[in-house]
Protein backbone atom coordinates (compact mmCIF):
# COMPACT_ATOMS: atom_id res chain seq x y z
CA UNK A 1 0.00 0.00 0.00
CA UNK A 2 1.35 3.42 -0.89
CA UNK A 3 2.69 5.62 1.88
CA UNK A 4 0.36 8.44 0.82
CA UNK A 5 -2.61 6.15 1.45
CA UNK A 6 -1.38 5.59 5.00
CA UNK A 7 -1.03 9.37 5.41
CA UNK A 8 -4.63 9.92 4.31
CA UNK A 9 -5.83 7.17 6.64
CA UNK A 10 -3.96 8.88 9.49
CA UNK A 11 -5.67 12.21 8.72
CA UNK A 12 -9.07 10.55 9.00
CA UNK A 13 -8.24 8.55 12.12
CA UNK A 14 -6.64 11.47 13.98
CA UNK A 15 -9.48 13.76 12.88
CA UNK A 16 -11.97 11.32 14.33
CA UNK A 17 -10.08 11.30 17.64
CA UNK A 18 -10.17 15.12 17.69
CA UNK A 19 -13.91 15.06 17.01
CA UNK A 20 -14.48 12.60 19.85
CA UNK A 21 -12.75 15.01 22.23
CA UNK A 22 -14.77 17.96 20.91
CA UNK A 23 -18.03 16.05 21.24
CA UNK A 24 -17.25 15.32 24.90
CA UNK A 25 -16.85 19.03 25.70
CA UNK A 26 -20.53 19.94 25.48
CA UNK A 27 -19.90 23.10 23.46
CA UNK A 28 -22.68 25.01 21.71
CA UNK A 29 -20.40 26.26 18.94
CA UNK A 30 -17.11 25.50 17.24
CA UNK A 31 -16.00 29.14 17.34
CA UNK A 32 -12.26 29.50 17.87
CA UNK A 33 -11.60 25.80 17.43
CA UNK A 34 -10.26 23.69 14.57
CA UNK A 35 -13.43 21.69 14.06
CA UNK A 36 -14.18 22.96 10.55
CA UNK A 37 -10.63 22.54 9.30
CA UNK A 38 -10.49 19.06 10.82
CA UNK A 39 -13.73 18.09 9.08
CA UNK A 40 -12.55 19.58 5.79
CA UNK A 41 -9.25 17.70 6.04
CA UNK A 42 -11.08 14.46 6.78
CA UNK A 43 -13.35 14.96 3.77
CA UNK A 44 -10.39 15.70 1.49
CA UNK A 45 -8.52 12.66 2.82
CA UNK A 46 -11.55 10.43 2.22
CA UNK A 47 -11.71 11.65 -1.38
CA UNK A 48 -7.99 11.01 -1.78
CA UNK A 49 -8.27 7.50 -0.33
CA UNK A 50 -10.88 6.70 -2.94
CA UNK A 51 -8.47 7.73 -5.67
CA UNK A 52 -5.54 5.78 -4.23
CA UNK A 53 -7.29 2.41 -4.09
CA UNK A 54 -6.93 -0.18 -6.78
CA UNK A 55 -9.67 -2.28 -8.27
CA UNK A 56 -11.64 -4.90 -6.42
CA UNK A 57 -14.73 -5.52 -4.39
CA UNK A 58 -13.34 -4.16 -1.13
CA UNK A 59 -12.01 -1.05 -2.86
CA UNK A 60 -15.53 -0.45 -4.13
CA UNK A 61 -16.89 -0.79 -0.60
CA UNK A 62 -14.35 1.72 0.73
CA UNK A 63 -15.17 4.18 -2.05
CA UNK A 64 -18.89 3.97 -1.28
CA UNK A 65 -18.33 4.39 2.46
CA UNK A 66 -16.00 7.34 1.78
CA UNK A 67 -18.66 8.95 -0.42
CA UNK A 68 -21.33 8.56 2.27
CA UNK A 69 -18.99 9.86 4.97
CA UNK A 70 -18.12 12.90 2.88
CA UNK A 71 -21.84 13.64 2.44
CA UNK A 72 -22.38 13.52 6.21
CA UNK A 73 -19.32 15.72 6.82
CA UNK A 74 -20.54 18.16 4.19
CA UNK A 75 -23.90 18.43 5.95
CA UNK A 76 -22.18 19.26 9.23
CA UNK A 77 -19.87 21.80 7.56
CA UNK A 78 -22.86 23.57 6.01
CA UNK A 79 -24.21 24.50 9.45
CA UNK A 80 -23.74 28.02 10.82
CA UNK A 81 -22.55 26.62 14.13
CA UNK A 82 -21.20 23.19 14.85
CA UNK A 83 -22.04 22.02 18.36
CA UNK A 84 -20.58 19.14 20.31
CA UNK A 85 -23.94 17.39 20.04
CA UNK A 86 -23.92 17.67 16.24
CA UNK A 87 -20.38 16.28 16.10
CA UNK A 88 -21.36 13.50 18.47
CA UNK A 89 -24.13 12.52 16.06
CA UNK A 90 -21.65 12.57 13.18
CA UNK A 91 -19.23 10.44 15.20
CA UNK A 92 -21.86 7.76 15.74
CA UNK A 93 -23.03 7.90 12.13
CA UNK A 94 -22.88 4.44 10.62
CA UNK A 95 -21.35 5.95 7.49
CA UNK A 96 -18.33 7.46 9.23
CA UNK A 97 -17.89 4.40 11.43
CA UNK A 98 -18.02 2.11 8.38
CA UNK A 99 -15.29 4.14 6.70
CA UNK A 100 -13.14 4.02 9.83
CA UNK A 101 -13.59 0.27 10.08
CA UNK A 102 -12.68 -0.10 6.40
CA UNK A 103 -9.53 1.93 6.96
CA UNK A 104 -8.56 -0.05 10.05
CA UNK A 105 -8.90 -3.22 7.98
CA UNK A 106 -6.84 -1.76 5.14
CA UNK A 107 -4.11 -0.71 7.57
CA UNK A 108 -3.96 -4.14 9.18
CA UNK A 109 -3.89 -6.05 5.91
CA UNK A 110 -1.10 -3.94 4.46
CA UNK A 111 1.45 -4.64 7.19
* Predicted confidence (pLDDT) per residue in 54-109, tens digit: 899 999 999 999 999 999 999 999 999 999 999 999 999 999 999 999 999 988 88
Q: What is the pLDDT of residue 107?
A: 85
- Residue bearing the bigger pLDDT, 108 or 1: 108
Q: Answer whether 86's CB lies under 8 Å from 79's CB.
A: yes
pTM: 0.91
Return the ∠ at Cα 45 (arms to 29 and 63), rounded to 5°.
Answer: 115
* Predicted confidence (pLDDT) per residue in 6-41, tens digit: 999 999 999 999 999 999 999 999 998 999 999 999
Give 91's Cβ-side CA count (13 Å radius). 20
Give 86's Cβ-side CA count (13 Å radius). 19
Written out in words, the top-level CATH class of the domain with range 3-109 is: mainly alpha
Amino acid sequence: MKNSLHEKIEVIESGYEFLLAFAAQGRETDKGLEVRSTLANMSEAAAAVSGLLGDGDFADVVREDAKKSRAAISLVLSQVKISSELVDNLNISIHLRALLTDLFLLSETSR
